[in-house]
Amino acid sequence: MKFLFKGGRVIDPKNKRDERCDLLVERGKIVQVGKHLSPNGSQVIDADGLWVVPGLMDMHVHLRQPGREDKETILTGSRAAAKGGFTSVLPMANTDPVVDNRGAVEFLLSEAKRVGLVNVFPVAAVTKGLKGEELSEIGELASVGCVALSDDGKPIHNAKLMRHALEYAAMFGLPIIAHEQDPSLFEGGVMHEGYTSTVLGLRGIPSVCESIMVARDIELVKFVGGKVHFAHVSSERSIELIREAKRQGLAVTCETAPHYFSLTDKDISCFDANFKMNPPLRSEEDVEAVKKALKDGTIDCIATDHAPHTEQEKDTEFDAAPFGIIGLESSLGLCLSLVHTGVLTPSELVSRMSLAPATLLGLPKGTLSIGMDADITVIDPDETWTLRSEDFESKSKNSPFVGRTLKGRAKITMVSGRIVMKDGKITKGD
Partner 1 sequence: MTRWTRKDLLGLEELSEKEIRLVLETARSFKEISARPIKKVPTLRGKTVVNLFFEPSTRTRVSFELAAKRLSADAMHIAVQGSSLAKGETLKDMARNIEAMKVDILVMRHPSPGSCHLLARSLKSSVVNAGDGSHEHPTQGLLDMMTIQEKKGKLEGLKVSIIGDILHSRVARSNLWGLLKLGAEVTLCGPKTLLPVECGRLNARTTCDLEEAIAGADVLNILRVQLERQQGCLFPSIREYAQKFCITPERLRKAKKDLLILHPGPMNRGVEIAPEVADGPYSVILDQVTNGVAVRMAVLFLVSQVNRAKEERDEVSV
Q: Any idea which residues carry the catalytic annotation?
A: 305
Do you find a cis peptide bond into 97, omega within 30 degrees of 0?
yes
Least distance between partner 1 and beta carbon 320 (Å): 6
How far lies 236's CA from each of 131, 214, 261, 338, in Å? 29, 12, 12, 18
Q: What residues contact 10, with CB distance under 8 A and at least 6 apart?
A: 17, 18, 19, 20, 21, 22, 23, 33, 51, 52, 53, 368
Quick one: CA dihedral 224, 225, 227, 230, positive or negative?
positive
- CB of residue 243 vs partner 1: minimum separation in angstroms? 25
Count the neighbouring beta carbons within 10 Å of the beta carbon of residue 76.
21
Q: Rounded distance, CA 412 to CA 47, Å? A: 10
- 385: contact with partner 1 by CB under 8 A: no
Tell me whether residue 5 or residue 275 sits nearer to partner 1 (CB atom).
275
Q: Which residue in 335, 354, 333, 337 sits closest to 402, CA to CA? A: 333
Residue 321 or 335: the one with the smaller Cβ distance to partner 1 is 321
Q: 46 or 187: whose CB is closer to partner 1?
A: 187
> Between residues 319 and 391, which has the closer beta carbon with respect to partner 1?
319
**Contact status: 319 vs partner 1 (CB under 8 A):** yes
In the shown chain, the binding pattern of residues 286 to 315 toward partner 1, with x for contact by CB under 8 A and - for none, equals: --------------------------x--x
Among 5, 86, 318, 401, binds partner 1 (CB under 8 A): 318
By CB under 8 A, how many residues form the interface with partner 1? 22
Closest separation in Å from C-beta 198 to partner 1 = 4
Q: What share of the chain is helix, strand, coil (3-state, %, to 5)?
A: 35, 25, 40
The radius of gyration of the chain from alpha carbons, rounded to an integer in Å, stands at 20
Sole binder of partner 1 in the list 35, 270, 371, 390 (CB under 8 A): 270
Identify which of residues 227 and 314 has a Cβ nearer to partner 1 in the complex: 314
| Residue 393 Cα distances to 12, 111, 147, angstroms | 28, 18, 26
Q: What is the DSSP letter of 373?
A: B
DSSP 282-335: --HHHHHHHHHHHHHTSS-EE---B----HHHHSS-TTTSPS----TTTHHHHH
CB of 408 to partner 1, least distance (A): 32
Q: Are strands 17-26 and 29-34 parallel, antiparallel or unpaired?
A: antiparallel
Does residue 265 bind partner 1 (CB under 8 A)?
no
DSSP letter, residue 384: E
Q: How far apart are CA 78 and CA 72, in angstroms?
A: 10
Segment near partner 1 (CB under 8 A); pick from 33-41, 77-85, 316-324, 396-404: 316-324
Contact set for partner 1, span 169-208 (CB under 8 A) = 188, 193-195, 197-204, 206
Q: Candidates 99-107, 143-151, 297-305, 318-326 — which segment interacts with partner 1 by CB under 8 A? A: 318-326
Shortest distance (Å) from residue 284 CB to partner 1 = 13
Residue 156 near residue 213 (C-beta atoms within 8 A): no
- What sign does the dihedral 241-246-250-252 (CA atoms) show? positive
Minimum distance from CB of 15 to partner 1 (Å)? 48
> CB-wise, 203 or 222, nearer to partner 1?
203
**CB nearer to partner 1: pick between 200 and 363:** 200
CA 387 from chain centre, in angstroms, equals 19
Closest distance of CB 272 from partner 1, Å: 9
User: In terms of CB distance, is 150 or 197 closer to partner 1?
Assistant: 197
CB of 226 to partner 1, least distance (A): 34
User: Exactly one of 158, 248, 316, 405 binds partner 1 (CB under 8 A); which one?
Assistant: 316
Which residues within the stretch 86-115 sit at the binding site for partner 1 (CB under 8 A)? none
Contact residues: partner 1, CB under 8 A: 188, 193-195, 197-204, 206, 270-271, 312, 315-320
